[in-house]
Amino acid sequence: MTGEGSHDFARVRRIVKTDEFSSVFRLRPAQKTAHFVLYTRPNALPHARLGVVAAKRFAPRAVTRNTIKRITRELFRTTGLPPVDCIVRLSRPVNGKDGPATNRALKAALKVELTRLFASQQRRPAPVDAP
C-alpha cells in the first residue's frame, strides 16, 4: 500500500517518529477546543499526516483513549486537508473512572469538536516551506 489514496491511513499518512512530533509541538497551537489542541506545520509531501496524543491522565481508561484515536483517524481520513502535519492532543479530561468509559453522547461531542478542528484547517491553505 503506497498511501496515495485519499481515504486511507497508511503509514505514510502518520506521524510516528519522536522527532516529527517534536518539530510540530515546537510551534504554537493552531486551534483549541474544549478538550483538544491542534498543532499544525506545513509539510512538503503531497498529503497531510496525523499524530494523536491521548494521555492517560485525561482519559484514564484505554477504551476511551482508543475511541478518541479512532474518531480522530476517521475524521482525518474523510476530511480533505492541505499538506500539513497535524497533531491532535487531548488537553482536558473527557471523563473519569467512575462513569462509563464511552457512550453515545461522548462520542458525538468528541466528533463535533474534532470536526471543527479539521474544518479550521481546510479553510486556510498552508504555505509550503522552501528547502
Q: Phi and psi dihedrals of 115, rounded to 5?
A: -60, -40
How do residues 30-82 score in pLDDT, each as one tens digit?
788 888 999 888 888 888 888 999 999 998 889 889 999 999 999 988 888 88
Residue range 89-128, pLDDT digits in tens: 999 988 766 666 678 888 888 899 888 888 887 655 545 4
Which of 93, 109, 91 lies closest to 38 in space, CA to CA?
Answer: 91
Confidence (pLDDT) at 27: 77
β pairing state of 36-42 and 84-90: antiparallel
Model pLDDT, residue 48? 84
In this prediction, residue 17 carries a pLDDT of: 78
- The structure's pTM equals 0.77
- pLDDT (0 to 100) of residue 25: 77
CB 38 within 8 A of CB 31: yes
Question: At 5, is the pLDDT very low, low, confident or very high (cuts 50, 70, 90)?
Answer: very low
Predicted local confidence at residue 23, as pLDDT: 79
pLDDT at site 97: 65
pLDDT of residue 19: 79
Q: Are 39 and 87 in contact (CB under 8 A)?
A: yes
pLDDT at 126: 45
